[in-house]
């Protein structure tokens, strides 16, 4: 009886619903001797879309499944809306999930699929169908409710999965690589749809992906994971401009890892020598001596008019890609990958060039390297 | 505390304080008062059965979490009370028997000690409820993701396997090592084990008979060779030739599944017996004297070849189809002749399949009871020898136990060999890649050899089945071919009496009992088998490997051994159920469960696990998920295990022949009785009726359970995709 009335009240107060937070406190998950998630702590603020990003096998999906209650933490605490849910089973948590394979029940119609959540909670069939129709309309699939899932296209199936996850208006919505089964063009549109839906409904969303571009595009916050631990958390801007370590610098966007020499520190800025060049950069806690820097491909400039006293290099390879031109440049500080936009004529391979760096953005000292 | 947990705690108390703790004596007629309170454990406890009173302690402990719901360690309380309660029930059950103390060590407390009867409804309910409370306790402590349905299912299946598989098997082991008064006597075991009638080799050097173990092995090897060769010939014809009657081969492969095991033996007697149809012809036309040659090794061998060739065929047709034609084409492009290709590529790729068919034939022959019983004559094999050790003049249960252990060792050894040898060699030739080659046509020599073995054999099989049908409708095969319904009337006469229909036919009793037991055991078998398959594929828990072994073990135990072990284990308290219909049902459930497990595992592994998880995250509990998502997708496996367990329950003879009573006589044992009495016509008519009933049941099960609805669009009626507006 209890669950029934709560489901009703949720559906009536759809727009007023308070988003909730998710908190991990030193959560560890072990399978036998293998540690899949190693003492991870983070907080997802209410109403935010947070991405768990990392290469395959880094523990991001396990983390997501622990939020859902499909895996149980070996150690640590998981809180949703400040309530301890560590030992609650998936059915008892107010969390829904959109699966990578969509997991639409093949023996039910689209409508039955979406109405499944309320109907197993004891909501009368008629009301459950009404709730399902409401969500199908929201997601733009009205008119297809009688179809079987196998009669829909991949994109439509994905939207049915989203509607099914939304129908109970969960505190937290989880996405497990939702775009991996879509083609490249559709991917961009669907991720925008998801972002829009999340912002309109003020949902708390955790989103797993291994695609850094997708993560940068949709997230309020990104949690980068590597080898069962968190490598860095931050906004997309922070991760791209100020990577905390070599892994993040390399994983988010393309980066040239360059060795430099930190000469002196004055206030927040440091004097760094790279090859023959002097740069003023935020020191980010690095001390004097050799340092590693991450330079984004578009923060390196090439000039065909070579002057003395600059860093000299030679173009090795040139790829013309329409909006941009990509170069492989041989230089005294190593081979560099350079991207230039809005250039009319590509520089021919073998041309000697002068190399310089942007100082406002795109080059950063990596503190933990 | 959930309502379910509370309910089970209440049931513990009901079982202990309300229902009769002991089973009723079958001769006494219980009054209504005996059903409630006065026969309960509490009443018995205060009337002198002091050993029941300690169980009140764990029952009291279950109430602690009820009274103080805020308690943090309520899981631990439930766990402890369940464990202690079960331990006390088992301890008192096994230490106090019908005639006092069961162990000599306890006799120091006075002889003969207290007595008690077997467990009744109350004890069964209390034990079951305590087990579930224990499992709820485990779930509350976080086992299996805190899912009480899963822990309870595991607990229930494990408990059932312990009681109905491991307990009987260990009883048979124990009784093999005991003398006739029940004392531990290893020397007796050795003398029984080394007996000359088991291991003697006299037939090699003289005219005397060999030991029964050698007989069994020799027959098993012959049958294994024969079925593999015949099965291969049939499989090659069915897959690699343009033979016109392939469909007939398929039909023939289904027939033995619905044929009671001794019927083929019976048909052989009608053909080749002293007054058999063919023997008559040979005598009248060629003057070949009638003889008893069919009784003995030749008869059993022919009957088993007929019965088990289809099994080899089914195994080998899968293997032959699985061989990638590309490999043969590769061989041909390397300029190998078709004979060389067959000999060096095709046949070696079939080796694991051939070994598998060989071992299956061997095991089936060892386990077969019906055909040797009807046909073996003086050629003794283990399965019939066990039967006569129990029911014959000897009444030597220890000897039966020793023989059972030898038979069990043979079959387990064969299964182990199959596992150890074939488990590692995987000749996977079906890959995910498209494979569009054309299979090599059989080399002439191989094709001819296949035709020459398979076609005469197929004709022979058809003849045997024709005899079965004809025999049911003529007065007496071989003597009097007047068409008659006499046999059917004797068996299935229905008379109209004043009070309605009166089933006066002699077969009706056993027929109704058989249908009842089969209809009860089929859904139970399917339920337990599929639940086990679900636990094995969808859940992770410690001890899963041994759990799987336990569920499949009962498949490797020959029926005769099961029968003996059940009467040894369940004839005395605490679990005294021999002579009831219940023991027949349980026997069938655990003999046929492995097939349900296998087909369940095969189907479940094709269903994406994220479907279950999606259901869980939508707030459905495991039980609901099971009902609304897993079961509808499992329909093919449900049909398979229902059909198999129903058919097996109707045709089985080896295990049940030990367990039937006058009240619960099964159709098969009734027919065996008719055969032994020489009433062949009646037996054949009854068998025909059984085969027809089984065919009807298979069709009915298909209709009731229905097809799996996956909503796949068919190629013809593909609707054009409707344009859908984008998300707002």
Task: Quote the ipTM score.
Answer: 0.78
The segments of chain B whose pLDDT lies below 50 read 426, 428-434, 711-728
Question: What is the end-to-end Cα distance of chain B in Å, rounded?
Answer: 45
pLDDT at residue A155, rounded to an integer = 86
Name A261's bridge partners.
Answer: A273, A290
Which is nearest to B231 in space by CA: B307, B302, B317?
A: B317
Q: Find out if CATH 1.10.3720.10 is the number for domain B503-705.
A: yes
Q: What is the mean pLDDT of residues A169-196?
A: 88
Structure tokens at B20: 């009769």
Q: Which residues of A135-174 are buried (b: 16+ CB within 10 A; e: fewer)?
A: bbebbbbeebbebbbebbeebbbbbbbbbbbbbbbbbbbb
Which is nearest to B461 in space by CA: B248, B678, B236?
A: B248
3-class secondary-structure state, position B494: strand
| Strands B500-503, A83-84: pairing kind | unpaired
- Residue ranges of domains in chain B: 3-141, 214-380+449-478, 503-705
Contact B613 A68 (CB under 8 A): yes
Q: Which residues of A touch B619 (CB under 8 A)?
A: 3, 91, 117, 120-121, 168
Closest Cα in chain A, distance from residue B70 (Å) = 16
Fold match between domain B214-380+449-478 and domain B503-705:
yes
Interface of B with A in 564-623 (CB under 8 A): 608, 610-611, 613-622
A345: domain CATH number is 2.40.50.140
pLDDT at residue B713, rounded to an integer = 40
Domain that holds residue A307: 254-366
Which is nearest to B641 in space by CA: B605, B593, B601, B606?
A: B593
Structure tokens at A230: 């968190």
Contact B146 A87 (CB under 8 A): yes
Structure tokens at B505: 């036919």
Q: How far is Cα B532 from Cα B526, in angstroms, rounded to an integer?
A: 10
Consecutive H or E run containing B16: helix B3-17
Question: What is the end-to-end Cα distance of chain A in Å, rounded?
Answer: 58
Handedness of CA A277, A281, A283, A286 (dihedral sign): negative
Q: What is the mean pLDDT of residues A313-329?
A: 90
Q: Which residues of B touch A135 (CB under 8 A)?
A: none
**Residue entry with tokens 């590693």:** A292
- According to DSSP, residue B723 is labeled P
Residues A16, A78, single domain; the answer is: yes
Residue of B147, B616, B617 for testing the chain A interface, max A β-carbons within 10 Å: B617
Region for B224 from its dihedrals, namely left if φ exceeds 0, alpha if ψ lies in -120 to 50, beta otherwise: alpha
**List of residues 6+ apart from B605 with CB closer than 8 A:** B537
Q: Which residues of A touch B711 (CB under 8 A)?
A: 106-107, 109, 147-151
Q: How many beta carbons lie within 10 A of that of residue A60, not counting itself?
A: 28
Q: What is the mean pLDDT of residues A175-195?
A: 87
Consecutive H or E run containing B302: helix B297-322
Contact B619 A153 (CB under 8 A): no
Structure tokens at B602: 């095969």
Picking from A215, A241, A267, the residue at the C-terminal end of a domain is: A241
Q: How far is Cα B233 from Cα B618, in angstroms, rounded to an integer?
A: 54
Q: How far is Cα A37 from Cα A29, in angstroms, rounded to an integer?
A: 5
- According to DSSP, residue B599 is labeled H
How much is the mean pLDDT over chain A? 86
| CA-based nearest residue in chain B for residue A156 | B724
- Longest Cα–Cα distance in chain B: 95
Residues A270, A180, single domain; the answer is: no
Picking from A190, A214, A241, the residue at the C-terminal end of a domain is: A241
Whole-number Cα distances in Å, B148 to A79, A358, B151, B411, B612 = 22, 61, 5, 38, 16
Q: How many beta carbons lie within 10 A of that of residue B25, not counting itself?
A: 9
Domain count, chain A: 2
pLDDT at residue B207, rounded to an integer = 67
Which is nearest to A63 in space by CA: A208, A171, A182?
A: A208
Answer whether B72 touches A (CB < 8 Å).
no
Residues A174, A274, single domain; the answer is: no
pLDDT at residue A8, rounded to an integer = 39
Residues A188, A281, single domain; the answer is: no
Contact assessment for residue B122 and residue B15, using Cβ atoms and an 8 Å cutoff: yes
Residues A88, A220, single domain; the answer is: yes
A43: domain CATH number is 3.40.50.300
Q: Which residues of A touch B725 (CB under 8 A)?
A: 140
Residues A233, A349, single domain; the answer is: no
Residues A45, A67, single domain; the answer is: yes
**Residue entry with tokens 């229909």:** B501
Which comes out higher in pLDDT, residue B491 or A242?
A: A242
| CA-based nearest residue in chain B for residue A107 | B710
Residue of A31, A62, A107, A200 for testing the chain B interface, max B β-carbons within 10 Å: A107
Whole-number Cα distances in Å, B369 to B216, B261, B373, B592 = 11, 8, 6, 17
The architecture that CATH gives domain B214-380+449-478 is Orthogonal Bundle (1.10)
Q: How far is Cα B185 from Cα B203, in angstroms, rounded to an integer?
A: 31
Q: How far is CA B702 from the centre of its chain?
A: 21
Residues A209, A284, single domain; the answer is: no
Highest mean pLDDT among A15-24, A136-145, B21-30: A136-145
Contact B722 A91 (CB under 8 A): no
Residues A225, A318, single domain; the answer is: no
Which residue from A87, A105, A109 is facing B611, i.e. has the nearest CB? Answer: A105
Residues A76, A212, single domain; the answer is: yes
pLDDT at residue A52, rounded to an integer = 94
pLDDT at residue B371, rounded to an integer = 87
Q: How far is Cα A77 from Cα A98, in angstroms, rounded to an integer?
A: 24
pLDDT at residue A37, rounded to an integer = 93
pLDDT digits (tens, 9 = 90+) for B63-91: 888 888 777 788 888 889 999 999 988 88
**A186 within domain boundaries:** yes
Contact assessment for residue A205 and residue A172, using Cβ atoms and an 8 Å cutoff: yes
Which comes out higher in pLDDT, residue B192 or A105?
A: A105
Is this model's pTM higher than 0.90 or not? Answer: no
Picking from A218, A241, A264, the residue at the C-terminal end of a domain is: A241
Residues A274, A355, single domain; the answer is: yes
Residues A173, A321, single domain; the answer is: no
Which is nearest to B311 in space by CA: B350, B372, B376, B356?
A: B356
Contact A148 B620 (CB under 8 A): no
Q: Which residues of A touch B710 (CB under 8 A)?
A: 106-107, 148, 150
């Amino acid at each position: 009886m209890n669950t029934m009335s709560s489901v009703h009240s949720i559906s009536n107060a759809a727009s007023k619903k308070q988003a909730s937070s998710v908190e991990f406190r030193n959560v560890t998950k072990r399978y036998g001797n293998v540690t899949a998630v190693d003492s991870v702590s983070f907080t997802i603020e209410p109403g935010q879309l947070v991405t768990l990003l990392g290469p395959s096998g880094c523990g991001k999906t396990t983390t997501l499944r622990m939020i859902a209650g499909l895996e149980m933490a070996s150690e640590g605490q998981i809180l949703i809306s400040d309530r301890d849910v560590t030992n609650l089973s998936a059915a008892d948590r107010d969390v829904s999930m959109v699966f990578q394979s969509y997991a639409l029940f093949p023996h039910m119609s689209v409508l039955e699929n979406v109405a499944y959540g309320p109907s197993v909670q004891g909501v009368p069939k008629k009301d459950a169908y009404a709730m399902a129709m409401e969500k199908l309309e929201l997601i733009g699939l009205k008119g297809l409710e009688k179809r079987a899932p196998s009669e829909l296209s991949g994109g439509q199936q994905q939207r049915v999965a989203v509607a099914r996850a939304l129908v109970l208006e969960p505190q937290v919505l989880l996405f497990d690589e939702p775009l991996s089964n879509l083609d490249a063009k559709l991917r961009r549109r669907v991720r925008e749809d998801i972002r829009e839906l999340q912002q309109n409904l003020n949902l708390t969303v955790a989103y797993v992906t291994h695609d850094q571009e997708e993560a940068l595009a949709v997230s309020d916050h990104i949690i980068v994971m590597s080898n069962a631990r968190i490598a860095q958390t931050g906004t997309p801007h922070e991760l791209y401009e100020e990577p905390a370590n070599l892994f993040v610098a390399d994983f988010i966007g393309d980066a040239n890892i360059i060795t430099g020499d930190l000469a002196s520190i004055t206030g927040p800025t440091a004097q760094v020598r790279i090859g023959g060049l002097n740069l003023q950069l935020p020191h980010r806690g690095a001390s004097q001596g050799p340092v590693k820097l991450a330079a984004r491909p578009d923060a390196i400039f090439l000039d065909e008019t070579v002057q003395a006293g600059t860093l000299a290099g030679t173009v090795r390879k040139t790829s013309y890609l329409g909006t941009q031109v990509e170069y492989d440049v041989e230089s005294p500080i190593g081979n560099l990958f350079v991207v230039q936009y809005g250039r009319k004529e590509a520089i021919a391979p073998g041309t000697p060039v002068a190399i310089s760096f942007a100082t406002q953005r795109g080059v950063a000292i990596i503190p933990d390297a | 505390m959930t309502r379910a947990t509370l309910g089970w705690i209440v049931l513990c108390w009901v079982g202990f304080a309300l229902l009769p703790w002991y089973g009723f004596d079958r001769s006494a007629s219980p009054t209504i008062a005996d059903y409630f309170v006065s026969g309960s454990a509490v009443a018995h406890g205060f009337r002198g059965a002091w050993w029941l009173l300690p169980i009140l302690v764990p029952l009291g402990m279950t109430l602690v979490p009820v009274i103080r719901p805020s308690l943090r360690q309520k899981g631990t309380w439930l766990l402890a009370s369940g464990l202690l309660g079960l331990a006390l029930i088992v301890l008192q059950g096994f230490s106090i028997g019908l005639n006092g103390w069961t162990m000599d060590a306890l006799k120091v407390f006075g002889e003969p000690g207290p007595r008690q009867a077997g467990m009744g409804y109350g004890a069964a309910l209390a034990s079951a409820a305590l087990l579930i409370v224990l499992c709820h306790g485990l779930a509350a402590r976080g086992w299996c993701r805190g899912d009480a349905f899963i822990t309870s299912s595991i607990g229930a299946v494990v408990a059932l396997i312990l009681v109905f598989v491991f307990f009987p098997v260990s009883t048979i082991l124990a009784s093999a090592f005991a003398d006739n008064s029940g004392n531990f006597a290893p020397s007796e075991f050795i003398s029984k084990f080394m007996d000359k009638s088991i291991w003697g080799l006299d037939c090699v050097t003289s005219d005397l008979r060999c030991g029964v173990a050698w007989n069994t092995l020799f027959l098993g090897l012959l049958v294994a060779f024969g079925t593999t060769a015949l099965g291969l010939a049939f499989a090659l014809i069915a897959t690699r030739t343009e033979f016109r009657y392939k469909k007939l081969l398929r039909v023939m492969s289904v027939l033995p599944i619905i044929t009671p095991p001794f019927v083929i033996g019976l048909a052989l007697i009608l053909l080749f017996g002293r007054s058999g149809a063919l023997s008559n012809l040979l005598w009248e036309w060629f003057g070949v004297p009638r003889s008893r040659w069919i009784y003995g090794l030749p008869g059993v061998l022919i009957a088993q070849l007929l019965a088990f060739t289809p099994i080899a065929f089914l195994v080998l047709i899968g293997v032959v189809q699985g061989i990638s034609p590309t490999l043969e084409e590769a061989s041909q492009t390397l300029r190998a002749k078709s004979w060389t290709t067959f000999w060096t590529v095709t046949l070696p790729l079939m080796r694991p399949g051939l070994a598998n068919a060989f071992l299956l034939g061997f095991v089936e022959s060892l386990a077969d009871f019906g055909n040797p019983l009807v046909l073996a004559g003086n050629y003794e094999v283990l399965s019939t020898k066990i039967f006569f050790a129990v029911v014959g003049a000897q009444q030597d249960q220890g000897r039966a136990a020793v023989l059972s252990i030898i038979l069990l060792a043979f079959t387990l050894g064969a299964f182990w060999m199959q596992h150890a040898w074939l488990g590692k060699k995987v000749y996977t030739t079906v890959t995910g890649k498209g494979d569009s080659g054309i299979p090599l046509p059989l080399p002439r020599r191989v094709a001819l050899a296949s035709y020459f073995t398979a076609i005469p054999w197929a004709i022979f099989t058809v003849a045997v089945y024709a005899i079965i049908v004809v025999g049911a409708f003529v007065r007496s095969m071989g003597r009097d071919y007047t068409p008659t319904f006499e046999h059917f009337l004797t068996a299935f006469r229905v008379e109209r009496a004043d009070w309605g229909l009166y089933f006066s036919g002699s077969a009706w009793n056993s027929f109704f009992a058989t249908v009842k037991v089969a209809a009860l055991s089929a859904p139970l078998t399917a339920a337990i088998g599929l639940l086990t398959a679900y636990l094995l594929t969808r859940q992770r828990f410690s001890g899963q490997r041994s759990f799987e072994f336990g569920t499949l073990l009962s498949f490797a135990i020959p029926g005769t051994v099961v029968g003996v072990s059940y009467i040894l284990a369940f004839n005395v308290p605490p679990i005294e159920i021999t002579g009831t219909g219940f023991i027949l049902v349980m026997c069938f459930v655990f003999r046929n469960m492995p097939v349900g497990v296998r087909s369940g595992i095969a189907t479940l592994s094709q269903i994406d696990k994220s479907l279950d998880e999606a259901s869980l995250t939508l707030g459905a509990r495991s039980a609901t998920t099971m009902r609304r998502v897993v079961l509808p997708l499992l329909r093919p496996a449900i049909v398979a295990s229902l059909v198999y367990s129903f058919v097996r329950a109707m045709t089985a003879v080896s295990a049940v022949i030990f367990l039937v009573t006058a009240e619960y006589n099964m159709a098969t044992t009734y027919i065996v009785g008719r055969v032994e009495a020489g009433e062949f016509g009646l037996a054949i008519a009854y068998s025909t009726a059984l085969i027809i009933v089984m065919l009807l049941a298979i069709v009915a099960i298909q209709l009731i359970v229905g097809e799996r609805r996956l909503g796949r669009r068919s190629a013809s009626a593909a609707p054009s995709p409707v344009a859908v507006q984008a998300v707002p």
